[in-house]
Amino acid sequence: MARCPLCGSSLDWGELIEEMLAKRGNEMKEILSDRERFLNELREFAFKCPNCGEEFYGKNLPEREAEKVFELLNEFTGSIDWESGRVRLRLNSLLALDTMLEEWDRKVKGSR
């Protein structure tokens, strides 16, 4: 899971996306419609760690997780409350479940 590159504390993807929503506003609708644009914006975005308060760039976040976050936000209708700028999904929980299912699938396919 995503961690602050400076202090090592766990990061909540929902909070990270909400930071982007707060700064980018309705532009995020366009950003979320294009995978490459989303990933590029994420890499260049300066996030603030809720634990240590230091800023870091999104390029320090796991790319694979960022791709899955993009998919989750686009797969679930209403995943973002645009009026309040809040993410309605528990992205970290969904990412953990996805990882567990991938591991299970890999083990099942490997045992055949």
Q: At what angle do helices 13-24 and 63-75 cross, to 10 degrees?
A: 70
What span, in angstroms and rounded, lies between the C-alpha atoms of 1 and 22? 23
The reported pLDDT for the residue numbered 111 is: 64
* Average model confidence (pLDDT) across the chain: 94
Whole-model pTM: value is 0.88
pLDDT surpasses 60 at 112: no
Average pLDDT (66-73) is 96
Alpha-carbon distances, residue 18 vs 30, 38, 42, 99, 101 (angstroms): 15, 14, 12, 23, 27
Q: What percent of the chain has pLDDT over 90?
A: 83
